[in-house]
Amino acid sequence: MVMVDRLVEIVDKTTVTAFLIREENIFCVNSEFREPGLIENMAQTAAAGVGAKPGVIDGKAPLGFIGGIRNLKIDAFPKVGQEIMTHVTVLHEVFDATIVLGEVFLGNQLIAGCELKIFLVS
């Protein structure tokens, strides 16, 4: 399942992606993009940033999994037809674990955020 439509930019340790919410998305309930989708979108944004780094084979994002979520806050759920912009900033990297701050925006409004611990499989 893909929760990122396009890579918008990578600046220093921050990756920005865009994602259009579609009705057929598995995480849409009553035309709203719900909690698991927002979290997965942040995780895939982090993977997109790693996949775009020099030295990554064919620009493919690595396989990874979410090892932990901290301080999850969701203020609003985007609706079908709306586009979200997700910013993920790397806070710490230790071995195969990366701690990131994920923030999801709808227009200029921050609607969700959390810290994710992501493990990448080499």
Beta bridge mates, 29? 32
State how far the Cα of 4 lies from the Cα of 51, in Å rounded to an integer.
Answer: 13
Range of the domain at 33: 6-121
In a domain, 113, yes or no: yes
Q: How far is C-alpha 39 from the geometric centre of its chain's CA atoms? A: 7
State how far the Cα of 77 lies from the Cα of 28, in Å rounded to an integer.
Answer: 10
| pLDDT in the model for residue 63 | 73
Of the candidates 34, 93, 24, the one whose C-alpha atom is nearest the C-alpha of residue 64 is 93
| pLDDT in the model for residue 90 | 95
Dig out the tokens for 70 from the structure. 């901290």
Write the CATH number for 64.
3.10.129.10
Domains contained in the chain, number:
1
Of the candidates 120, 83, 86, the one whose C-alpha atom is nearest the C-alpha of residue 104 is 86
Q: What would the mean pLDDT of 20-48 be, rounded to a whole number? A: 96
With 90 as the cut, is the pLDDT of residue 117 above it? yes
In a domain, 110, yes or no: yes
In a domain, 15, yes or no: yes
Name the pLDDT band for 64 (thresholds 50, 70, 90): confident
Dig out the tokens for 25 from the structure. 């998305």
pLDDT > 70 fraction of the chain, expressed in percent and rounded: 89
In a domain, 1, yes or no: no
In a domain, 31, yes or no: yes
Dig out the tokens for 95 from the structure. 């071995």
In a domain, 28, yes or no: yes
